[in-house]
């Protein structure tokens, strides 16, 4: 193995131990490549063809969906040790991307070329299990998102969103703007600002310039 392959092998062992099947591991090391993205950088955009399945090894990624009127909604966050199941369906059906993925923090990931996704489903049980678990996790995330929109008031959605951001960033102080939150929640900036002030009065957050601290 060269230095890059050794790095990929170690990273897979550390963050994706469930994919330790020897032959699968060797193939992943052989065809996988390391990719790096800065915070805020678009990784996959709407309409493009997905060519890689991402295996996240550092940072976090937010996954967004756009409606027919161009409004965006945050679907879920990807964390270290996870992948994007929606990329699997686009890969296997060779269809254009329905999602946009953006680096929430600086991101490092192992990219697996799409031609191996279906092939490994037939060859390796551990890969098949990994794909199915990823689908199950993302389905539960999507159900939570739908329930939140349908049944919860915006102040509850906002607080849950901030808790999610803190979890994926592993930092109680978030560097963000009211406008950025409004985009993710498909709300107006004015509504988000008003609700944040209410949460501050309730002692649940502390507000600063482009910073929000979640009070535990």
Note the pTM of the prediction, 2 decimals. Answer: 0.82
Q: Match 């509850």 to its residue by tokens.
A: 156
13, 18, 22, 28 alpha-carbon torsion, rounded to 10°: -70
Mind listing the pLDDT tens digit for each residue in 127-170? 999 999 999 988 888 888 888 887 789 999 999 999 999 988 88
Q: Which pLDDT band holds residue 2 (cuts at 50, 70, 90)? A: low
Burial 195-213 (b: 16+ CB within 10 A, else e): bbeebeeeebbeeeeeebb
What does the DSSP 8-state code read for residue 18?
A: G
**Rounded Cα distance, 129 and 50, in Å:** 22
């Amino acid at each position: 193995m060269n230095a890059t392959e050794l790095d990929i092998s170690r990273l897979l062992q550390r963050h994706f131990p469930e994919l330790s099947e020897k032959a699968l591991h060797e193939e992943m090391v052989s065809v996988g490549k390391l990719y790096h993205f800065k915070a805020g950088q678009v990784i996959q955009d709407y309409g493009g063809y997905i060519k890689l399945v991402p295996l996240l090894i550092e940072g976090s990624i937010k996954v967004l969906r756009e409606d027919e009127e161009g409004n965006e909604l945050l679907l879920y966050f990807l964390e270290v040790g996870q992948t994007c199941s929606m990329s699997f369906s686009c890969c296997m059906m060779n269809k254009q991307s329905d999602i946009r993925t953006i680096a929430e923090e600086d991101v490092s990931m192992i990219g697996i070329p799409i031609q191996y996704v279906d092939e490994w489903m037939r060859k390796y049980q551990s890969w098949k299990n990994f794909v199915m678990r990823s689908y199950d996790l993302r389905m539960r995330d999507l159900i939570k998102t739908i329930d939140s929109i349908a049944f919860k008031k915006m102040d509850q959605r906002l607080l849950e969103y901030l808790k999610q951001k803190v979890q994926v960033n592993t930092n109680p102080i978030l560097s963000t703007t009211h406008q950025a939150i409004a985009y993710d929640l498909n709300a107006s900036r004015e509504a988000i600002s008003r609700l944040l002030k209410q949460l501050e009065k309730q002692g649940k957050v502390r507000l600063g310039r482009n910073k929000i601290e979640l009070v535990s």
